[in-house]
Structure 1
Amino acid sequence: MVSPERLASMQKSWVRTLDQYRVAPADAYPPFDVLVAAHSAPERHYHNLEHLNEMFRVVERLAPTVENPNALQLAIWFHDAVYDSRAKDNEQRSGELAVDLLGPIGVPASAIERIVRMIWATAHAAEAPGDRDTRVLLDADLAILGASEERYARYARDIRQEYSWVPEPEYRAGRAAVLERFLAAPRLYHSPIMFEEGEQRARSNLRNELAELQSTRGV
């Protein structure tokens, strides 16, 4: 999880972002609290504030390529706002939550529409999106795949914990299918920096986890 100091920094960034839409701090704090509570739920072992923090760091590196940083920041905050490992419509519901929380405090409808489109794209179910900010969002969301072996291993364990309700044989089969889908993609990362630095390591991490899942050894 993130430290109290980092959380305070994230709150300041949130307020600054909404200030660009002329949302007063007093109006910005309540939705922030909702999002922090959602990402701090005990069943969230990976899809939590640490994940958001890691995404923000990636976006900072890719900042020169970003067209609308404010919309992108909000899309990051909301993309996993609703996360239920038993559900198939998390991205849809997260987009709906963005509408419910951002509309009443005065974020323009055009901005919300853009944010929601980016949120829905994090389902990673379609071809590479045309707009640059969505590609940055997707790269940030999948940055964990190209992390160090140690960090990736913790990520894999955390994902397993989020699916603790799934019996081991079924989990292995389902997780293997996800990994194979990633490996079948022509490329995992859209931006040149992410592709250069993380593509090979991400594929190595994915192959290693897949081999472990398919082995006959214990958990």
Structure 2
Amino acid sequence: MPTKNLTHILFSDWQHTLQPFGVEQVVAEKAFNPLVAAYSTPGRYYHTLQHIDRVLSTIQILQGYTNNLAAVQLAAWFHDVVYDSQAQDNEERSADYAFEFLNNLGIPDSTITTVTRLILNTKNHQAAVDDYDSQVLLDADLAVLATNQVLYGEYTHAIRQEYSWMAEKDYITGRQQILERFLQRSRIYFTPLMSEFAEPSARGNIQGEIQSLLSG
């Protein structure tokens, strides 16, 4: 379960994000509870409220690149709201969840359309050259790849826990394929800031993880 302090910080962020849309505080508070519940379900070790907090913090740093900051922040809140490590349609279901949820809050259709598009783009972590909002969300979502050795180790351990149903051999094969796809990309990050300062660390961490997986 998330700490009270983290929940308090995130609720403040949630209220701040909804403020421009005129959502009343009581309504915002009532809407916050199912989000906390969703990100606190059993089986989540990485895709938790702590992940959402880190994504939102990175978006804050990268906000100068966005066209629609509120939509990017809302997409961050909902991009992993449905998460099942054995499913292939988490992003689609998360987008559907966000559509209904935000519609009930009275968020404008144009914003909801942007939010759902941003969520769907997290499936393959690809963004068009001029899609700056997606670029910021994707960079924030993958910021963990560039963290220090301790945090990166915690991240890989948490991911393995989420896939505890997989045999070790199968997990190593699947994880290696995912990591190598990132290395094969011309760039992991899209925004100039992340591309310059985070890219080398991310590639180093990924290469290190692959070596660790193969050495067993």
Q: TM-score, normalised by structure 2?
A: 0.95
Cα distance in 1, alignment partners of residues 3 and 197 from structure 2: 27
Matched, 1:109 2:109: yes
- How far apart in 1 are the matches of 2:101 and 2:127? 29
Listed as ranges, the matches of 1:144-163 within 5 Å are: 144-163=144-163
* Partner Cα separation in structure 1 for residue 126 and residue 56 of structure 2: 23
Partner residue of 1:173? 173
1:135 aligns with 2:135: yes
SS of residue paired to 1:103: helix
Deviates more, 1:111-120 or 1:126-135: 126-135
Q: Which residues of structure 1 form unaligned runs of 5+? A: none
CA distance in 1, matches of 2:31, 2:102: 8
1:125 to partner: Cα distance: 5.2
Answer whether contact 2:127 2:135 (CA < 8 A) is retained: no
- Greater alpha carbon shift after TM alignment, 128-137 vs 79-88: 128-137
Cα offset, 1:9, TM superposition: 2.1
Q: Letter of the aligned partner of 1:36 in structure 2?
A: V
Structure 2: how far apart are the matches of 1:30 and 1:105? 11
Query: Which one-letter code corresponds to 1:181 in the other structure?
Result: R
Quote the Cα distance in structure 2 between the aligned partners of 1:38 and 1:162. Answer: 15
Query: Offset of 1:31 from its aligned partner?
Result: 2.5
Shift in CA distance, 112/122, structure 1 to aligned 2, threshold 3 Å: same
The within-5 A match list for 1:175-194 is: 175-194=175-194
RMSD (Å) for aligned C-alpha atoms: 1.4
Q: Deviations over 1:64-111 (max 9, x none)?
A: 222211111110000000000000000000000001111012111111
Give the Cα separation in 2 of the matches to 1:13 and 1:213: 37
Amino acid at match of 1:207: Q
Q: Identity across aligned pairs (percent)? A: 41
Change (3 A) 1:136 1:99: same
Q: How is 1:45-84 mapped onto 2 (pairs within 5 angstroms)?
A: 45-84=45-84
1:41 aligns with: 41
Q: Describe the SS at the equivalent of 2:104.
A: coil
Q: TM-score, normalised by structure 1?
A: 0.94
- What residue identity is the alignment partner of 2:100? D
Cα displacement (A) at 1:212: 1.4
Distance 1:72 1:85, change over 3 A: same
SS at match of 1:84: coil
Q: Distance in 1 between matches of 2:127 and 2:111?
A: 23
C-alpha distance in 2 between matches for 1:196 and 1:71: 25
* Matched AA of 1:10: L
One-letter amino acid of the structure 1 residue matched with residue 80 of structure 2:
D
Does 155-164 or 190-199 show the bigger shift?
A: 190-199
Of residues 112-121 and 34-43 in structure 1, the stretch that sits farther from structure 2 once superposed is: 34-43
Q: Does the CA-based 8 Å contact 2:125-2:138 persist in structure 1?
A: no
